[in-house]
Structure 1
Amino acid sequence: MKDQEKTPHSIYRKDYQAPYYWIDAVDLTFELGEDATRVRARLQMRRNLENNRSGGHNLVLHGEQLKTLSLKVNDNALAADIWQADEENLTVLTQLPEQFVLESEVEIYPQNNTSLDGLYQSSGNFCTQCEAEGFRRITWFLDRPDVMARYSSTIIADQKKYPVLLSNGNRCEQRDLGDGRHLVRWEDPFLKPSYLFALVAGNLACLDGEFITRSGRKVRLEIWVEPQNIEQCEHALRSLQQSMKWDEERFGLEYDLDIYMIVAVSDFNMGAMENKGLNVFNTKYVLSSPETATDKDYEDIQGVIGHEYFHNWTGNRVTCRDWFQLTLKEGLTVFRDEQFSADMGSAAVKRIEDVKILRTAQFDEDRGPMAHPIRPDSYIEMNNFYTVTVYNKGAEIIRLYHTLLGEAGFRKGMDLYFQRFDGQAVTCDDFRMAMADANDEDFTQLERWYDQAGTPLLHIDMEYDAEAKSCTLHLQQSQSTPDLVKNWQPWVIPVRIGLLGEQGEDLLCRLDDTPDAKTEHVLKVTQEKQSFRFHEVNARPVLSPLRRFSAPVKLDMQRDREEMAFLMAHDSDHFNRWDAGQTLAQDVLLDLTADIQARRELSLDSLFVSGFEKILHDTHLDGAIKALMLTLPNEHLLSLQMQEIDMDALHTAREFALSTLAQHFKQQWLDLYHSLRSTTPYSNDKNAINRRRLQACALEFLGYLPHTDHQHIGIQLAEEQFQAADNMSDAEAALKLLVNHPGPARDKALSDFYKRWKHEPLVLDKWFTLQASANHPGVVDEVLALAQHPDFSMKNPNRFRSLINIFSAKNPTYFHAKDGRGYQFLAEQVLAMDALNPQTAARVVSAFNQWKHYDVARRALMQAQLKRIIASPGLSKDVYEIVSRSLG
């Protein structure tokens, strides 16, 4: 990368212009082979008369790793001297007619494609992944999302090896060719960009079903998997049917083809892909049975299947004009899948889990070198911008519209959006204007959420006037990372609030000049400083701010621990009740960290212990909510509150708090655990899930009890639970405790688990993950050894992530061990993976992104590894972009 000519360059949003040519129809023919695959493409093209009327601009097509066999225009072969190809483009050096047909034939080698981008082989089957720019590895094309065409695909392959041949749309022809091969042809009647193309060929088994749309059409549903996995697809099929029904009821959106297919593959860079009518999924988000999948796995499968199905309208029927608009489809669809999951399960639990991701991963991204708005201004490698900012913060911005407009107003905006833009490639501004126009609102200021990076800091002061019986809130917003945005301007921030009385009751009050008193209000903050007055408040209230986390901001408010404990005990908003407890716990843990640094004696705040006890004994909370409320903030989240991170002190403080709570409530934990032990067969209904989650929480605390007389009650109970478990949720909870305690019980459980599940790849991923995230000093040595295990593979992203990503991103204490071995190990893994699969390598190298926030010694160690990586010859654009930005 030292050679200036080879240094990757940035692409800028401001430079967007429409293509000089359009493609109206695409006819593809694939001859799949073991040594090489031939792809013939027939493209019906025309000049874009708006910017290339004279034809003065050459036709330039995208392509990578293609061996060109022939090129024709209108059935005439192109002479070698009028076209040229390099590593990324094919240029036709002659003026073309206003309308023409371009035909090409290329040879590609899917069996050698370890990047899993384009057409590749997985477990002997052919599969595609074309988002964002993988289609250019299949044939020469205008591989950009604003070029939308109708596709037909003919697939020819060996009938015995590849009996199943799938592509987008509806199957319109299939026949035996008489030479051991067969042919299947597919036609997709809907316009789509190249990133939504899909092809799958292999020896697969199908679980089929159907869905009757609200207009009475019968849609065939097919879930295709490797034959040995066919018994693990029922939940995925039910989730698809639930998604289709929910989208009709909630948004009035009906599926549009005669068939909807899902294919599960074991080698996949992403979670899943929404290709039109043929979704390709990572097996992780399809396969499930009580013995192999946890309750969380079941929820994730339901949510991801919903997400990809919802893309049929928010992403496929209406797509992105360019990749800078990625949040247009992803932020919107994440919001939709969050709503779906909330309706299918617990809205409060779902909201808490979503905000936990936002606060740990996205707020972390906002203060690091990869900080960017939800609509980025530039990129080097587009794959690097499939981020929590684009997805999860993007969903929070969609939630702002929903909060400001209400359910009915949001639905009006969605209806207008589809009415205006169905079949088009559009921008975030088009969505914003549809929302505004449908509701006669001015949403100009909302554009700042798309253009300004960083997390808002919201400061709130409360002033109570006893004589006037009024309460005034003074709000001030600013940028939590002031150097990130030049010429910063205030955002639109909806702040949902409630006021609580001295008994914890919600108070009825009237806001400013509004006529009606309510217990909950949404304040629309649009200025840097703004005040709101509430009337008919008879006594000084306790403020419950940002209910249900109504905006993705950091709250700055002077509240003592008594107030936090009060909200923790009484707030009627489950999210805020959880959040108050987390804020109090965070405050306590950071104080303990400071005590450790100052070598002061440690003690756990009695107010926190008392508030914790009230949650523990609250019989009105369901098990899932209670488990979340009893879980302390993790070390990564705590580290985000420190300018210079002291991971050792943070770890010691959290361990002290957990041990203290375990010992203080020992009998309560034991009683709770035994009361939750099930004597009935496995069930996945809501009550059973809540029971298992609370039981797992109790067992985790019992794991922090000290050894007595060579016995450890937590280990003993975990052993018993592991041996008796009839489901993966209970087995994993027990093994999670055991891996933290080196010794015979741990070794036996890990050995038994491995022997039973070594032939189930997804379950074996859990075996690697649990060891990589273990909480004991020998974990670095164990991770190094696991990287040499016969079942560890660099070529499978799931397996790589289960060890390397979990250790570097989810085990901060031991990844950041003082000797720097974790850093050296990660750098070695990144460089090895980069040669195979740059996307996966780029995602794990991000573990170094916060290196500047650590102490001098750790900074030097991490910087050295970053410099080692960037100096490596042949580094991919993916890794180069992240490492160069990290180094600054």
Structure 2
Amino acid sequence: MRDATPQTVYLKDYTPPDYLIDQVELVFELDEQRTLVRAGLDVRRNPDSRSASEALTLFGEELLLVGISLDGQALAAGDYTLSDEALTIHRVPGDRPFRIDIENIIDPQANTALEGLYLSSSMLCTQCEAQGFRKITWFLDRPDVMSRFTTKLIADKTQYPVLLSNGNKIGAGNLDGGRHWVAWQDPFAKPCYLFALVAGQLEYVADEFTTVSGRRIALEIFVEAHNVDKCGHAMQSLKNAMRWDEETYGLEYDLDLYMIVAVDHFNMGAMENKGLNVFNTKFVLARPDTATDSDYEHIEGVIGHEYFHNWSGNRVTCRDWFQLSLKEGFTVFRDQQFSGDRSSPAVKRIEDVNMLRTRQFAEDAGPLAHPIRPEAYIEINNFYTLTVYEKGAEVVRMLHTLLGAAGFRQGCDLYFKRHDGQAVTCEDFVKAMEDANGVELTQFRRWYSQAGTPVLEVEQAFDAGRLTLTVKQSCPPTPNQPEKLPLHVPIKLGFLAADGSPARFQYRGEFCEEATVSLTEAEQRFVFESLTEKPIVSLLRGFSAPVTLKIDRDPEELAFLLSYDSDTFNRWEAGQQLVSRIIFGLIADIQAGRTLTANPVLTEAFRAILADAGADLSYRALLLSLPDEGYLGGQMAVVDVEAIHQAREFVRLSLATALSAEFQRVYAEHHQDESGCFDASAVGRRRLKNACLSYLTALEKPDSYALAETQFRSARNMTDQIAALSAVVNSRNPTKADCLDSFYRQWQREALVVDKWFTLQATCHMPETFATVQSLMQHPAFDMKTPNRVRSLVGAFSQSNPLHFHARNGDGYRFLADRVIELNTLNPQIAARMVGGFAQWRRYDTDRQALMTRELRRIVETEHLSKDVYEIASKSLA
């Protein structure tokens, strides 16, 4: 077990820093195993400090102190105290600015946690968010201390010919012994979590962007030499994001240079360090034969996300880490807007909501539930969660819905103008929205402090042209919040007439076809008048609030909405609800031992979709999708993983059997080689034909086997090749082993493609999957020190394969616990994320509960357990 229980940090205990650091001068003498860091800090007492202490405490971890001085005078051992996590100078001037100079040594090669300065392949790079800078030198490592940085990098010129840091390059030169130096200066004050450096043997792709005011910005993407040909899409995505932010938010880039570096070893997706973004290669590198359409879309989205942070995160940053959603929720909303504008808004919205409801709602319903602004944490890295990011984005979206696009833009303009160069809070963001629009959002603020997913129960009554909707809201108790107050919930709605056309109505004296009502009470009635007949109600259009909606509908009404609803989200949602209703009926039949029968309502609804000639083919493909097994499990009081899988597969096979001719026809109509073409039509054709291929292979017939194998062998783009291989792997196709071997041989030098190969096998539903996963752990290409590879195998199996991870014998649980314990000493952040596979143990039967809690206790009792893993495992058990 742990040597000591880690301390909890509370929002209520926040106090301003006693000291501020105005200027930072850093000099690095870079070496894989022994990097010397010299830090010069210009410090002054904070006029807002609430403490009378004369001591200055700086944070630091895993640092070897060489020397320290105050105003040029070396300090003796008695002048300071050194601990594992801090350096305290006992007496510093309180009435004037002063200078602290520190020299220390760090070992990047030994830093497998990938925080601070570390080695990725042969490249040195940094990751300082949230608290990685304290692993570089002793510092006031908190986001409300904003400093101007000057950085000088010194290194062997052959080993590290490229030396990068934040801001603008201000000097460079050669030194004796084959070394050289480059100096950088960032003119903008920033928290140390936005500091970055990169050194290595890198090539770069260059371009430029002309801002709306006519300034020319140099753009550079740095990669290892063999990846230079995979940067074109990332560069164009950056330029698209820069233009979009100018047009949509009026925000212009502020430096003369914008750099991106792609690294293999990275705990997150990317990092918005000022002027020098460090990216996981997964979100930079793309070529039609190595990246899928989804990869291309995700790259553009993540490139946009990190660029948008230049204002929503960098120019205006967080006062403390409890405010993390201030920058992340806001920026996720912005990147969702951007991606929707760049592709299909309907498809983007559905994909975002699908992920939210499948994964974030589960987080809300478990022991790790927390508000988007948490009240406490042990390890801040554990709060880079779906709640903070995705639910945080939904809260921002609700403000956009309530205020309208123009009002929201006014609020953003005021926010950036009022707080540029400051470290602020979520309250400051909401206050700017209020002040810019002359509205009052006191009740809305509860979204920031209340955990859990609200439930809306709707009843309807129609009489003489008047429809009354009675809406009740509630929220299940969550850890530390047994009682919940009513929230301010925007509900966008419309009505459909019997012929499927929009039904006009009167609400609050105005005639309209769509309205947004504000639910603010625990129970509230909304009255709509001037209706000529009882309409079909379309509620929560565009998923206008992150809630669970309960309203009685029969299958025929759901099928009607699936056919006619003009709201693209609700049309898809009706299909999902229809399929879910049928699947849960089949689950009941399975549990009761009854014979399973297909539902003709669903078959005819899908037949209509396949016959539809709508232009948005990607949207049609989504309409043909079945609910994820994880999403279905989240709606059960006790998850029955085998019955869910059996029922869902029965539906898939029934549809494939009944609509085989239609699936074959649509596949043939859209099967063409458009490799390298990424317009909406080409992407849609690939999505639709590959959805059809998936259904056809469910038939387990020789002609469907041949169809999948032929596409696999002939595909010239990764989208078609991986879709075909997935169809082969998730069937009894006799060519499966040969196809897998062929794919690996073809792509073994492309790490990101090999990740796909691992994931495909880890998420397979066929019986031999767990044995395959165990054998892949011994594969030469598997490396526990590479986060992408761990996520592709261990993470994919435990988080995306409920059938086999939750096997009754507990093998999946033991496997995951063993990997967590192994990762704990290598990379605590990744280890903690893997523990999440156990978080929902209370949702399962008693036997599985016992097996999962046993593994959680084994993890908690591990010696020298990191606080990252301890927090997640102990809270899961609590």
Fold match, TM over 0.5?
yes
Residue pair 1:20, 1:57 contacting (<8 A) in 2 also: no
Partner of 2:753: 763
Residue pair 2:2, 2:864 contacting (<8 A) in 1 also: no
Match of 1:190 among 172, 181, 188: 188
Partner of 2:714: 724
Partners of 1:744 and 1:864 lie apart in 2 by 39
Partner of 1:704: 698
The 3-state SS of whatever aligns with 2:545 is coil
Of the structure 1 ranges 437-446 and 89-98, higher mean CA displacement relative to structure 2 is found in 89-98
Opposite residue 211 of structure 1, the aligned amino acid is F
Partner of 1:530: 524
Of the structure 1 ranges 519-528 and 471-480, higher mean CA displacement relative to structure 2 is found in 471-480
Match of 2:495 among 496, 499, 511: 499
Residue pair 2:610, 2:666 contacting (<8 A) in 1 also: no
Partners of 1:277 and 1:482 lie apart in 2 by 40
Partner of 2:874: 884
The 3-state SS of whatever aligns with 1:281 is strand
**Aligned pair 1:76/2:77, yes or no?**
no
Partners of 1:482 and 1:269 lie apart in 2 by 29
Match of 1:861 among 836, 851, 855: 851
Match of 2:546 among 541, 546, 552: 552
Compared CA separation, residues 827 and 541, structure 1 to 2 (3 A): same
Match of 2:609 among 615, 638, 648: 615
Partners of 1:662 and 1:450 lie apart in 2 by 45
Post-superposition CA distance 1:760-798 (Å, at most 9, x none): 100110110111111201000000000111110001000
Match of 2:25 among 24, 27, 32: 27
Superposed displacement of residue 744, structure 1: 3.8
**Aligned pair 1:472/2:468, yes or no?**
yes
Match of 1:751 among 741, 765, 769: 741
Superposed displacement of residue 621, structure 1: 5.2
Superposed displacement of residue 668, structure 1: 1.1
Post-superposition CA distance 1:677-723 (Å, at most 9, x none): 1055542211110000001100000111044xxxx222111110011
1:216-235 to 2 correspondence within 5 Å?
216-235=214-233
Superposed displacement of residue 743, structure 1: 5.4
Partner of 1:88: 85
Partners of 1:350 and 1:680 lie apart in 2 by 22
Opposite residue 519 of structure 1, the aligned amino acid is E
Match of 1:579 among 573, 591, 595: 573
**Aligned pair 1:784/2:774, yes or no?**
yes
The 3-state SS of whatever aligns with 2:638 is coil
Partner of 1:391: 389
Partner of 1:276: 274
Superposed displacement of residue 299, structure 1: 0.1
Match of 1:488 among 475, 484, 491: 484
Opposite residue 256 of structure 1, the aligned amino acid is D
Where does structure 1 differ by over 6 angstroms across 4 or more consecutive aligned residues? none
Residue pair 2:451, 2:478 contacting (<8 A) in 1 also: no
Partner of 2:417: 419
Partners of 1:706 and 1:597 lie apart in 2 by 26
Residue pair 2:54, 2:91 contacting (<8 A) in 1 also: no
Partner of 2:293: 295
Partners of 2:452 and 2:700 lie apart in 1 by 43
Compared CA separation, residues 409 and 722, structure 1 to 2 (3 A): same
Partner of 2:117: 119
**Aligned pair 1:796/2:789, yes or no?**
no
The 3-state SS of whatever aligns with 2:176 is coil
Match of 1:672 among 651, 663, 666: 666
Of the structure 1 ranges 803-812 and 618-627, higher mean CA displacement relative to structure 2 is found in 618-627
- Which consecutive unaligned segments of at least 5 residues does structure 1 have? none
Superposed displacement of residue 559, structure 1: 1.4
Partner of 1:368: 366
Of the structure 1 ranges 341-350 and 735-744, higher mean CA displacement relative to structure 2 is found in 735-744
**Aligned pair 1:663/2:661, yes or no?**
no
**Aligned pair 1:811/2:801, yes or no?**
yes
Of the structure 1 ranges 691-700 and 861-870, higher mean CA displacement relative to structure 2 is found in 861-870
The 3-state SS of whatever aligns with 1:517 is strand
The 3-state SS of whatever aligns with 2:512 is coil
Tell me the number of residue pairs that the alignment of Structure 1 and Structure 2 aligns: 877
Superposed displacement of residue 741, structure 1: 2.8
**Aligned pair 1:627/2:617, yes or no?**
no
**Aligned pair 1:508/2:498, yes or no?**
no
Residue pair 1:47, 1:53 contacting (<8 A) in 2 also: no
Post-superposition CA distance 1:431-477 (Å, at most 9, x none): 000000000000111110000000010111111112xx111111111
Partners of 2:117 and 2:758 lie apart in 1 by 29
Post-superposition CA distance 1:184-220 (Å, at most 9, x none): 0000000100000000000000100000001100000
RMSD over aligned CA atoms reads: 1.1
Compared CA separation, residues 74 and 474, structure 1 to 2 (3 A): same
Compared CA separation, residues 32 and 502, structure 1 to 2 (3 A): same
Residue pair 1:470, 1:536 contacting (<8 A) in 2 also: yes
The 3-state SS of whatever aligns with 1:206 is strand
Partners of 1:679 and 1:728 lie apart in 2 by 12
**Aligned pair 1:449/2:447, yes or no?**
yes
Post-superposition CA distance 1:825-881 (Å, at most 9, x none): 111111111110000011111001111111111111111111111111011111110
Opposite residue 753 of structure 1, the aligned amino acid is F
The 3-state SS of whatever aligns with 1:35 is coil
1:23-62 to 2 correspondence within 5 Å?
23-51=21-49, 54=52, 56-62=53-59
1:175-254 to 2 correspondence within 5 Å?
175-254=173-252
Partner of 2:132: 134
Superposed displacement of residue 485, structure 1: 2.5
The 3-state SS of whatever aligns with 1:835 is helix
Match of 1:154 among 152, 155, 165: 152
Partners of 1:632 and 1:487 lie apart in 2 by 35
Post-superposition CA distance 1:169-191 (Å, at most 9, x none): 00000111132110100000001
Post-superposition CA distance 1:499-533 (Å, at most 9, x none): 10001111111103x3x311100001111111111
Partner of 2:637: 643
Superposed displacement of residue 95, structure 1: 3.9
- Which consecutive unaligned segments of at least 5 residues does structure 2 have? none
Superposed displacement of residue 49, structure 1: 2.8
Opposite residue 619 of structure 1, the aligned amino acid is A
Partners of 1:678 and 1:866 lie apart in 2 by 50
Match of 2:557 among 552, 559, 563: 563
Superposed displacement of residue 560, structure 1: 1.4
Superposed displacement of residue 818, structure 1: 1.1
Post-superposition CA distance 1:83-114 (Å, at most 9, x none): 11111011111243431000000000001100
Opposite residue 157 of structure 1, the aligned amino acid is A
Partner of 2:354: 356
Compared CA separation, residues 857 and 38, structure 1 to 2 (3 A): same
Partners of 2:198 and 2:84 lie apart in 1 by 26
Partners of 1:241 and 1:505 lie apart in 2 by 41
Post-superposition CA distance 1:782-828 (Å, at most 9, x none): 00000111110001000110000000000110111111111111111
**Aligned pair 1:841/2:831, yes or no?**
yes
Partners of 2:479 and 2:283 lie apart in 1 by 40
